[in-house]
Amino acid sequence: MWLGSLAPRRRPREGVSEQATRPEVGDAPPPQQTQPLPRDAHSGIVPPPPPPPQVAQGLDMTHFLEGMAQFVAQHRDAPVPQGGTGRVLREFLQLQPPQFLGQPDPDVARAWLDAVERTFRSMECVPEERVLLASYQLQAQALTWWSAEWETTFQSRPLRQIPWQEFVVSFGRVFCPTYVRTERLYQFLDLQQRDSTVVQYRARFVELGRYAPQIMGDEGLRTQQFVRGLRPELR
């Protein structure tokens, strides 16, 4: 009796499968609403995402070196505005300043620094351009040193914001350390003509005088020191 009270089971309609009502496995989920990408207010162009910190940190010096190479290649023969860096760089290179390769010779390092400073004076270079121009002449081991020094000591600051004297101090600390400068200073103070000619004595006097800027910068002291080293019959 109770069996008759149950409703009969309905049969599915022909041509309609039970699986038709189930979602297919490969069906794509409904699209989700995303935040619009920020656009530049002036150009309307979507800026690219910044690189991760660990990547960006290593790209700084690469960008600097590649940028300088591209800059010279593009601007060496192209007209630039008056006062532009391209004009200054061309003027600097036309004076043929020497390159420095990082030789472990303090006299070579000091001579390069003096030659670059003479070039600056000849072209009346403003202080803000000096580090940029001088670093362009560093090659080989010297360039390797400067790449690391720029990232660490100078914290990747723009080159125009690095005072020239700070560059000179960092350069001298590596390529002309204190003990060498002290030794050269004593050699300068004790310099005697002896058997050399006056021309030879003067050349050595000027060479060692790089390590005694206080004396060489004062005409009276410089003359006194020079005469003091001459042979007695020439004083």
Q: What is the pLDDT of residue 9?
A: 52
Instruction: Output the CA–CA distances (angstroms, integers) from residue 31 to 4, 28, 34, 70, 80, in the order listed.
Output: 50, 8, 9, 45, 52
pLDDT tens digits along 97-109: 999 999 989 989 9
In three-state secondary structure terms, 230 is coil
Q: What is the DSSP letter of 113?
A: H
pLDDT tens digits along 183-225: 999 999 999 999 999 999 999 999 999 899 899 999 999 999 9
Q: What is the pLDDT of residue 38?
A: 47
The overall average pLDDT reported for the chain is 77
Name every residue whose Cβ is closer than 8 Å to that of residue 56 and which is 6 or more positions away in sequence: 50
User: How many CA atoms within 13 Å lie on the side-chain side of 104?
Assistant: 0
Given CA atoms 82, 84, 90, 92 in this order, what sign does their dihedral have?
Answer: positive
pLDDT tens digits along 163-186: 999 999 999 999 998 899 899 999
pTM (global) more than 0.75: no
Q: How far is CA 111 from the centre of its chain?
A: 22
Mean pLDDT of 120-124: 95
Q: What is the DSSP letter of 138?
A: B
pLDDT tens digits along 49-76: 544 444 344 444 445 444 554 444 443 4
Are the CB atoms for 216 and 222 separated by under 8 Å?
A: yes
Q: Quick one: which of 181, 194, 102 has its CA closest to 204?
A: 194
Residue 25 predicted with pLDDT over 90: no
- CA dist 140 and 145 (Å) reads 9
Q: What is the pLDDT of residue 235?
A: 87
The CA-CA-CA angle for residues 70, 73, 91, to 5°, reads 115
pLDDT tens digits along 124-160: 999 999 999 999 999 999 999 999 999 999 999 999 9
Are the CB atoms for 191 and 229 separated by under 8 Å?
A: yes
